[in-house]
Amino acid sequence: MGIATINPATGETLKTFEALTDEQLEAKVALAARTFEQYRPLPFTQKAQWWYKAADILEADRERFGQLMTLEMGKPLKAAIAEVQKCALVCRYYADNAPTFLADEIIETDASKSFIRYQPLGVILAVMPWNFPFWQVFRFAAPALMAGNVGLLKHASNVPQCALAIAEILHQAGFPEGAFQTLLIPANRIADLMADDRIRAATLTGSEAAGASLAAAAGKQIKKTVLELGGSDPYIVLESADLDMAVSTAVTARTINNGQSCIAAKRFIVAEAIADEFEQRLIEKFAALKVGDPMQLDTDIGPLATPDILSELDELVQENVQQGAKLRIGGQPLDRPGNYYPPTILTQIPPGASANEAEFFGPVALLFRVPNLDRAIEIANATPFGLGASAWTNDPQERDRLICEIEAGAVFINGMVKSDPRLPFGGIKRSGYGRELGCQGIREFVNIKTVWVK
- As annotated, the active-site residues are 228, 262
Residues 186-225 that bind ligand NDP (CB under 6 A): 186-187, 190, 205-207, 210, 213-214
Residues 156-185 that bind ligand NDP (CB under 6 A): 156-157
Site string (374-413) toward ligand NDP, x via CB under 6 A: ----------------------------------------
Under rule CB under 6 A, residue 425 binds ligand NDP: no
Residues 315-354 that bind ligand NDP (CB under 6 A): none
- Give kind and range of the element (H or E) at residue 265: strand 265-271
Q: Cβ of residue 31: shortest distance to ligand NDP, in angstroms?
A: 21
Residues 7-66 that bind ligand NDP (CB under 6 A): none
DSSP designation for 187: G
* 250: three-class secondary structure by DSSP: helix
By rule CB under 6 A, what count of residues binds ligand NDP?
A: 25
Which CB, 257 or 393, lies closer to ligand NDP?
257
Q: Cβ of residue 32: shortest distance to ligand NDP, in angstroms?
A: 18
Under rule CB under 6 A, residue 257 binds ligand NDP: no
- Applying CB under 6 A, the span of 62-70, 73-81, 129-137, 365-373 interacting with ligand NDP comes to 129-137
Pairing of the two strands 265-271 and 326-329: unpaired
Burial of 218 (0-12, 13-18, 19+ CB in 10 A): buried
In 304-409, the DSSP E strands lie at: 326-329, 344-347, 364-370, 385-386, 388-392
Binds ligand NDP by CB under 6 A, chosen from 134, 175, 286, 361? 361
**In contact, 314 and 324? CB cutoff 8 Å:** no
Instruction: Give the CA count within 13 Å in the CB-facing half-sphere of 124.
Output: 29
- Applying CB under 6 A, the span of 128-136, 347-355, 370-378, 411-419 interacting with ligand NDP comes to 128-136
d(CA 454, CA 452): 7
Residues 272-311 that bind ligand NDP (CB under 6 A): 309
Q: Cβ of residue 157: shortest distance to ligand NDP, in angstroms?
A: 4
- Applying CB under 6 A, the span of 49-57, 121-129, 277-285, 342-350 interacting with ligand NDP comes to 121-129
Distances (CA, A) of 138 to 9, 12, 88, 315, 426: 26, 28, 9, 33, 16
> Which amino acid type is present at position 360?
F
Instruction: Return contacts of 332-338, CB within 8 angstroms, 24+ apart.
Output: 334/291, 337/9, 337/10, 337/11, 338/7, 338/8, 338/9, 338/10, 338/11, 338/74, 338/303
- Contact residues toward ligand NDP (CB under 6 A) are 127-131, 154-157, 186-187, 190, 205-207, 210, 213-214, 228-230, 262, 309, 359, 361
